[in-house]
Amino acid sequence: MAAVGFYSAVRYTALFIGILLAISCLLVRSRLPRKPWNPDVKWFDIICFKDPQFSLYACGSWLVMWGLWAPFDFLPTMAQASGFSTDMAIYLISINQVSCLEA
């Protein structure tokens, strides 16, 4: 049996997931009949933002998601700028996750 490296394993896993997603898209069926298209319906309705509770919830959710995912996006770049090697900078996200779980 041939040894499969990490990158090949990731590619095979992505291919497997892609095939399963394609099969699931082909097999899914609608539970309800289709509604006729109404061109007068707005795509984005700002009337819901007049409710202060909804506005606060929407803004808070956006800030929480920005606070959660922005460090993951910028951590390797900031690490490389600080002098980390490219290989180590990529692994800082997983190292950060492990240290957060242990704390």
Residue-wise pLDDT for 35-75, tens only, equals: 898 888 888 888 888 999 999 999 999 999 988 887 777 88
**Nearest in space to 96 (alpha carbons), one of 80, 75, 73, 81:** 75
Q: What is the pTM of this model?
A: 0.43
Q: In the 8-state DSSP scheme, what is residue 46?
A: G
What is the reported pLDDT for 92? Answer: 78
Higher-pLDDT residue of 70, 21:
21
Give the rounded distance of the alpha carbon of 18 from its chain centre.
16
What is the reported pLDDT for 96? Answer: 62
What is the reported pLDDT for 52? Answer: 94
Q: With contact defined as beta carbons under 8 Å apart, do 93 and 77 qualify?
A: no
Both tokens of 33, joined, read: 């009949």
